Amino acid sequence: MLRLNSSRHRILIPLFLIPIVLVFNYGFVYGQPSTPPPPEENWNPSNEGKTGGQSHYEMAGWSSTDTLIIWTADIQGNPKSTFDIDEGVYLYVDTPINWPENRIWLYEYRQSGTSSGRWIFWMRLIGFGRFRFGPFYPDESQPIGNYTWKVWILNIGTGEYQEQVLSTNIIPEFPNPALAFAIVLFLAFFSIRKGQFRKYVKNQYQDF
């Protein structure tokens, strides 16, 4: 009966897994569309390749518009554009009523100038209606500030694109109200005591 050499077996397994890891990383890094130009420029992503990115979505109603409409909202569906740093951002999309089968892309531009941005999802296949994507959270490397999102949608049947741009603002979370109240009380007490001390010193000099 043949027996596997245990030391040789331990070497062969990692070597066998290397091509799988390389293929996975290649698909993740190079599967994204090319970096788009600034949001005000006219440009469309290529309709080639595979879908990718964070693209969880659910249907949120029906659309009654002839053009693409997008907006951001909180978890309750309330439209808003300013979010706390730990608050999930949801993207709502209304597709044109005469577009039954579509692909959608979402790119995030960063305002700091240190990086051009990131693809959040691309080539996602959706139908007709109102869809809610998310939740999304800010990039850990740049969590605070203004973000610009650009959405492209493609009518698969006709090859026509539409696009829309929106901006969101991520702000630091306000501290605990009880802690903030305690800080205010401390500053007020310190200010009063400081004023009393100055008055005492002034009186001492006058008496002298």
Binning pLDDT at 50, 70 and 90, where does residue 17 land? very low
Total domain count, the chain: 1
> How does pLDDT run across 68-121, given as a tens digit for each residue?
999 999 999 999 999 999 999 999 999 999 999 999 999 999 875 445 789 999
Global pTM value: 0.69
Is pLDDT larger for residue 133 or for residue 180? Answer: 133
The number of residues making up the chain comes to 208
Per-residue pLDDT at 59 exceeds 60: yes
What is the model's pLDDT at position 199? 65
Range of the domain at 138: 26-171
The phi-psi region of residue 159 (left if phi > 0; otherwise alpha if psi is between -120 and 50; otherwise beta) is left
Nearest to residue 72, comparing CAs of 62, 56, 83, 61? Answer: 83
Residue 119 forms part of a structural domain:
yes
Residue 37 forms part of a structural domain:
yes
What is the model's pLDDT at position 196? 64
> Helices in the chain by DSSP H: which ranges?
6-30, 177-207
Q: Respond yes or no on whether the N-terminal peptide bond of residue 135 is cis (omega within 30° of 0).
A: yes
The DSSP element (H or E) to which 105 belongs, if any, is strand 102-110
Q: What b/e string do you get for 159-194 counting C-beta neighbours within 10 Å, with b at 16 or more?
A: eebbbbeeebebeeeeeeeeeeeeeeeeeeeeeeee
Residue 203 forms part of a structural domain:
no
- The rounded mean pLDDT for the chain is 79
Q: Report the CATH number at residue 79.
A: 2.60.40.2550
Residue 59 forms part of a structural domain:
yes
Residue 66 forms part of a structural domain:
yes
Q: What is the chain's alpha carbon radius of gyration, rounded to the nearest angstrom? A: 28
Residue 200 forms part of a structural domain:
no
Residue 201 forms part of a structural domain:
no
Residue 132 forms part of a structural domain:
yes
Binning pLDDT at 50, 70 and 90, where does residue 36 land? very high
What is the model's pLDDT at position 123? 95
Is pLDDT larger for residue 54 or for residue 9? Answer: 54
